[in-house]
Amino acid sequence: MRGRVTNEGVPIPALTIGDQSWTTVIDTGFNGDLELPVELRDILQPRFKGQFHSLLAGGQTILEDTFEVQFPFDGETVIAEATFTNTSEILLGTGMLKRYRLGINFPKQTVGLNRVKPT
């Protein structure tokens, strides 16, 4: 998977769901899988898992509904945990990157996610 780095230094891989390209931000401080726009709820048909406490970067704890989704990622469909929010972008956490090597070239403004074979 490839993407770009914004002028503000935010790594954004290219991701298409349905027939739409979505702004996707890699958040290495988020150890979950996904935070998705509510607009994707009908497309992904999530299955409710329960409510969980999430610790935010500022130290605040919130209670969130968590769902299991079948998510199109890197040419395949993976089962992931997701929350839905009123946002227009996808937040990609490190839980989705367990099988990948993340490369960010800030001078060239490029992002690469390369699947690593298990050893």
Q: Count of CB atoms within 10 A of residue 29's CB?
A: 8
pLDDT exceeds 80 at position 119:
no
Question: Collapsing DSSP states into helix, strand and coil, what is residue 63?
Answer: strand
CATH number of the domain that residue 29 is part of = 2.40.70.10
DSSP state of 43: H
What confidence tens digit (pLDDT) does each residue in 62-103 have?
Answer: 888 999 999 999 989 999 999 999 999 999 999 999 999 999
pLDDT of residue 29: 84
pLDDT of residue 54: 77
pLDDT exceeds 90 at position 110:
yes
Structure tokens at 37: 């726009």
Q: Domain for residue 35, yes or no? A: yes
What confidence tens digit (pLDDT) does each residue in 1-58 have?
Answer: 899 999 999 999 888 888 889 989 998 888 899 999 999 999 999 999 999 887 777 7
Q: Domain for residue 117, yes or no? A: no
Q: Give the domain extent around 88.
A: 11-99
Query: How many domains would you assign to the chain?
Result: 1
pLDDT of residue 53: 83
Q: Domain for residue 30, yes or no? A: yes
pLDDT of residue 63: 87
Q: Domain for residue 114, yes or no? A: no
Structure tokens at 2: 């490839």
Q: Count of CB atoms within 10 A of residue 59's CB?
A: 6
pLDDT of residue 37: 96
Q: How far is CA 10 from CA 21, 24, 104, in A?
A: 17, 10, 10
pLDDT of residue 86: 94
Q: Domain for residue 109, yes or no? A: no
pTM above 0.75, yes or no: yes
Q: Domain for residue 36, yes or no? A: yes
Q: Domain for residue 107, yes or no? A: no
Q: Domain for residue 119, yes or no? A: no
